[in-house]
Chain A
Amino acid sequence: MILLGVGAAVTGAGYRFGSLARMGPGFMPVVLGVVLAFLGVLIAGTALASSEDDGGKFLPDNPQWFGWLCILGGPVLFIILGLYGGMIPAIFGCVFVCALGDNTATYKSSAILAAGVTVFGVLLFHYLLGIPFPMLRGVNL
């Protein structure tokens, strides 16, 4: 019955979106908001009407909290290290943390992978494509 929750969520979001921008250019948002809300009600309605258990569980059978954390942590590290450290630590941190998310990964294998990707990434993005992203902030390479 999780679908009901979705329906409600979509409905709520729909209304809020709709009323937020009711100015001259707000026509489209309001219309779309109403449509979305209407669809939300419909979805919730069909979910209620069919009332059959379609096996829709929100969490998968084996939630991978650690894996998810690692995957999301990678980009977060990329942002932080990228802003304050530069390209090299950003790439290394991102890949290293992401790699740790796998059940079979060890610190060593992740570090090796991260180092490899870092070298490759710096070569490709810094030297070949030349995107403006200092390799190490504060150090002039």
Chain B
Amino acid sequence: MISTAITDLWYGFGVALEPHNLMYCFLGVLVGNLVGVLPGMGPVATISILLPLTFGMQPVPAILMLSGVYYGAQYGGAICSILLNLPCHPPHAVTCLDGFPLTKQGKGGTALGITIIAAFIGASFGITEMIFLAPFLVQMALKFGPAEVCSLMLVGLLAGSTLAKGSPLKGIAMTVFGLLLGIVGTDIETGQPRFTFNIPELFDGIEIIALALGMFGIAEFMNSINNTETVDMRYAKVGISDMFPSKADLKLAFWPMIRGTVLGSLCALIPGTGPTIASFVSYATEKKISKTPERFGRGAIEGVACPEASTHSSVQGDFIPTMSLGIPGDTVMALLLGALIIHGIVPGPQLISQHADIFWGLIASFWIGNILLVILNVPMIGLWVKLLSIPYRYLYPSAMFFVCIGVYAANNEMFQVGETLVIGVAGYILLRLDFHPAPVLLGFVLGPRFEENFRRSMLISRGDLLTFVEHPISAFFLMICVVLIAAQIYVWLRKPKILAEEKAIENQVPETPYSELAG
């Protein structure tokens, strides 16, 4: 199996190194890095804006580019955290704790250097994990019938909504809301229009781009307008020569990096626990096992290396369930899944065998992309730092234009711009009411497939609900669901104690000025 994996990977490199694929991969990581650095823009909004532009492209370069944005943004986000104490992206919030004190001590360059090394190690491990684990998962998944797929999706949905930020109940409510939104349009089996309110434009369903841009574009801009702090650039002066860490620093950071990597890759495998949770968990662990925990928070290099490595390994690992099972773990993955569907590719266990070029090309492009990012970040750090000073007031109007034209270009219909607007307002209201919009997208993407598989399994079992319990694999997934719910209730009952522990870390993190909602 290992030898086939290597042959396949070789093939993947062939795909990824084709000049135009390489170009789009580069473009993706460049844009990703850019929005990662820019406060107030996040990968979710960027990917949704870029999505309509990929319609004319082949699926392979399109997916390579969109994925590049996601992991590229992680490199950029660290710069913001370390130099400015601005956690623009939630996964890097923890990095602020030790990264910014290091910057104040004049060691910001070292911290960035360590971050890049940690990122590369973490990402490489995540990619390796994907190479060997994904085909294995696929072999398992090929045995799945509709009942199993259904239960698995239920796990994905439940995990995605309960483990994310905010109240789990509200998370589940938002997932159900997303599922309902996914129903809008013509019913596949009977042709019956549902929830269309006799608006012909809605017969094809709600456009995923309109939903994503409304929820994460317009709602987000409304949230952060006139709400942004002026950026403190005092410490943000870094040259290339500062970036190479000393041997002592490297030695100090080595094991934390490895531990972070392993933790991150574990977190990636549990649906719903994305890079943000991975980075928090690994920081807490590192602090616990450290011989000198008092150094943390005052500029410990380990406190930068560990969460960064785990963020990156979890970012790459995130792709595993999405690509092998077709179950996205978070918002970005849900969007990418949507992109695959738009390009006419059915996600699921068959993806690897039927679209080997996409899967292996994607893996190979991860490596190429990560190398490109290291190259981009080391000599161009000064440029990225300069970008930090672009004021938000230039940024968001331009982004609004991209939102409008992106939605329009998807179908060349103005109706969808209006749709986005309505969703944006709704999204902002929900946001103010403490409902996080991320699970909506998850529910929306999985909804139609969930319904389809549910109906199919009902047909096979002649309407017997027990079929979900009788199939062993399906029963196992359902058990996970029960455990998840039970765990939530347990947490809720013992709220004060656990919350106190969580707060202890969270309180140290400076308030996120403009939150990228897709935590």
**Could you tell me which A residues sit within 8 Å of B by CB distance?**
2-3, 6, 10, 17, 20-21, 23-26, 28-29, 32-33, 35-36, 39-40, 42-43, 46, 56, 58-60, 62, 64, 67-68, 71-72, 74-76, 78-79, 82-83, 90-91, 94-96, 98-99, 101-105, 109-110, 113-114, 117, 121, 125, 129, 131-133
Contact = CB atoms under 8 A, between A and B. Distances in A.
B408 A82 contact: yes
Chain A contact residues: helix, strand, loop or mixed: helix
Secondary structure at the B interface, as helix, strand, loop or mixed, is: helix
A72 B421 contact: yes
Interface of B: 53, 56, 167, 169-170, 172-173, 176-177, 179-180, 183, 187, 189-190, 192, 194-195, 218, 221-222, 225-227, 392-394, 396-398, 400-401, 403-405, 408-409, 412, 414, 417-418, 420-421, 424-425, 428, 432-435, 451, 454
A71 B183 contact: no
A102 B405 CA distance: 21
A20 B195 contact: yes
Nearest to B412: A132
A24 B194 CA distance: 11
B157 to A, nearest CB: 12
B221 A71 contact: yes
A20 B180 CA distance: 12
Contacts of B405: 78, 91, 121, 125, 131, 133
A95 B400 contact: yes
B387 to A, nearest CB: 17
Given A24-B190, A29-B180, A98-B396, 11 more contacts: A6-B435, A21-B195, A25-B190, A36-B180, A68-B428, A74-B397, A95-B398, A103-B226, A129-B409, A132-B412, A133-B412
B397 A110 contact: yes
Contact of B222 (A33, A35, A68, A78): A68
Contact of A32 (B180, B398, B421): B180
B169 A131 contact: no
B179 A32 contact: yes
Contact of A91 (B393, B401, B425): B401
Contacts of B221: 71
Contact of A104 (B183, B393, B397, B418): B393
A39 B414 contact: no
Contacts of B222: 64, 67-68, 71-72
12 contacts: A6-B435, A24-B190, A29-B195, A67-B222, A67-B225, A71-B221, A72-B222, A72-B421, A72-B424, A74-B400, A78-B404, A102-B396
B433 A76 contact: no
